[in-house]
Amino acid sequence: MSVAANQTQNTIIHSIAGDMDAVNAVIRRELHSEVPLVNQIAEYIISAGGKRIRPVLVLLTANACGYSGNYHHLLAAVIEFIHTATLLHDDVVDESSLRRGRQTANALFGNAASVLVGDFVYSRAFQMMVSIGDMRVMQILADATNVIAEGEVLQLLNMHDPDVTEARYLQVIRSKTAKLFEAAAELGALIAGASEEQIEACAEYGRSLGTAFQLVDDVLDYSGVASDIGKNVGDDLREGKPTLPLIYLMQHGTPEQRQLVRTCIENGDETHFNDILAAITQCGALDYTKHQAELAAQRASSAIATLPNSQFKDSLLKLSTFAVDRNH
């Protein structure tokens, strides 16, 4: 990560350091199970770390809207559990072997154990949200979980299909990635007792921020370094995923380049990764995708312009910048 991006991340985390400690304590407590394998896999996943952006969103928006209770710690943990469950299932579906620089749980413990522990983490998240006793909170999280599942199926349908359009791909992003960002930010504002306008503003912030994050991930899958991004560069190509850089190349590349992309997507062929990388760089696909991420980040920042000024609003604005400046 660049020095500037690293400093930005540190500044954001510092503003909610005490809250994050509380969230981590909730995560540890709520992951406990009487079944040893559940504890083992759950601990393995959580200890891998990660940016924890989604829980951070709950904390920042709650604080930015003036919240003074502690339910945001529980909700932040719920959001992280839902995300963790999707990772466990995703890695099985994608046959991934590396995440956050370590072996995936399915590579280490097997597919069956990963899927079942993912189910445990999902259901524990719903136990926790019920304990809050707020029907609207449960509605937001239930809807988000369902939309995410639809997004996963949409992505599955897009796999190995070189004719996926930009619109179809953005629909997957909105469902699979941006929806949980949206729910996290919306919940933070909701429990703070914010106005409906502020709640929707935070929801839009989350939607746009999540879109920016995913688009930058698409760029990094071709231009990143494995040790930085924590997964194998070229995984999307190996899995036959037509992400935005490839979609752009299919629209603007030479006939030969388009045929190469078509073959690689259809067959999940990563052996031509260097040729694909040269082509998407030459035609401006990475620049285009990065620009779309920057536009999404700008929409996120604009959405919260009317929130009262505070260090937490400043951190949300910095997070928009971090979304596109990071290298992992």
Topology adopted by domain 3-321: Farnesyl Diphosphate Synthase (1.10.600)
199-200-206-209 Cα dihedral, nearest 10 degrees: -130
pLDDT of residue 229: 43
| pLDDT at residue 101 is higher than 90 | no
Helix (H, G, I), strand (E, B) or coil at 232: coil
**From CA 35, how far away is CA 47, in angstroms rounded?**
18
Structure-block tokens of residue 285 = 């696909």
In this predicted structure, what is the pLDDT of residue 13?
83
| pLDDT mean over 109-138 | 93
Q: What are phi and psi of 133, to 5 degrees?
A: 75, 25
Task: Please report the pLDDT score of residue 224 as a whole number.
Answer: 64
- pLDDT band per the 50, 70, 90 thresholds, residue 227: very low
What average pLDDT does the chain have? 90
pLDDT at residue 322 above 60?
A: yes
Model confidence at 231: pLDDT above 80: no
Average pLDDT of the residues in 80-106: 84
Give tens-digit pLDDT for 28-75: 899 989 999 998 888 887 777 667 899 999 999 999 999 999 999 999
